[in-house]
Every structure is written in structure tokens, then in C-alpha cells.
């Protein structure tokens, strides 16, 4: 990433990957995160780093089904890049492992 615009696009894409609307960042300043938004933002922070290995302990706990699907899809994309993932899910049926 070389420009602010590219960074914003990268951030938006990663927020989308875990099912978060980019507007939630500005809302956070006024209202704070819900439990599900906090969990998804934690997963997004890990994925943005593009790790070679990610250790994820119950990244789907406390999430509704739509959020679990979004998080699982984002983690599956990470796996497709060749990254190693140690995953301890509460809902294993959503992951391509």
C-alpha cells in the first residue's frame, strides 16, 4: 500500500471480509462496539496482518449465524493463501478445514 486511498480500500475490503460495515468505525467513537462487532474486529485485525500462522481460539463464539459465516469465509480465504491456521471453533461446520 502506498497511498491513503489504497489503505482505505484495503481496510474496507477487510472489514467487508468479516461482515462489518465500514461506518461502524465512526459509530464506535460515539457508541462503542457490540460484542459481535468487537469479536469480528479482533478477527479482522489478525487477517489484515496476513500472518504465516494464525492461532484462533473460538473466533466465532458469541456471534450470530450471519457473522459466523462472514468470519468463517474470511478465515477460509486466509487458509487459501497458504497460511497455517490453528483453529478452535465453536461451530466447525462453517470452515473449509
Q: What is the pLDDT of residue 54?
A: 92
Q: What is the pLDDT of residue 34?
A: 79
Contacts of 95 by beta carbon, 8 Å cutoff, 6+ apart: 72, 75, 76, 87, 89
Q: What is the mean pLDDT of residues 17-28?
A: 75
User: What CATH number does the domain containing 22 carry?
Assistant: 3.40.50.300
Contact 96, 76 (CB under 8 A): yes
Mean pLDDT (the chain, rounded): 83
Beta strands in the chain (DSSP E): 53-57, 84-88
Contact 72, 59 (CB under 8 A): no
Q: What is the pLDDT of residue 83?
A: 93
| Residue 72 lies in domain | 4-94
* Confidence at 29, pLDDT banded by 50, 70, 90: low
In whole angstroms, give the CA distance from residue 53 to residue 33: 27
pLDDT in tens, 68-79: 998 898 889 889
How many folded domains does the chain comprise?
Answer: 1
Residue 1 has pLDDT above 70, yes or no: no
Flag whether the pTM goes above 0.85. no
Tally of CA atoms within 13 A in the half-sphere of 69 that contains its CB:
3
Q: Is residue 55 helix, strand or coil? A: strand
Amino acid at each position: 500500500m502506498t497511498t491513503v486511498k489504497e489503505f482505505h480500500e484495503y481496510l474496507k475490503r477487510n472489514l467487508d471480509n468479516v461482515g462489518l460495515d465500514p461506518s461502524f468505525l465512526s459509530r464506535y467513537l460515539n457508541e462503542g462496539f457490540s460484542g459481535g462487532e468487537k469479536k469480528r474486529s479482533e478477527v479482522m485485525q489478525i487477517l489484515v496482518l496476513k500472518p504465516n500462522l494464525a492461532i484462533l481460539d473460538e473466533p466465532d463464539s458469541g456471534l450470530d449465524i450471519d457473522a459466523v459465516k462472514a468470519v468463517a469465509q474470511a478465515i477460509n480465504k486466509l487458509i487459501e493463501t497458504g497460511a497455517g491456521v490453528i483453529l478452535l471453533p465453536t461451530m466447525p461446520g462453517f470452515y473449509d478445514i
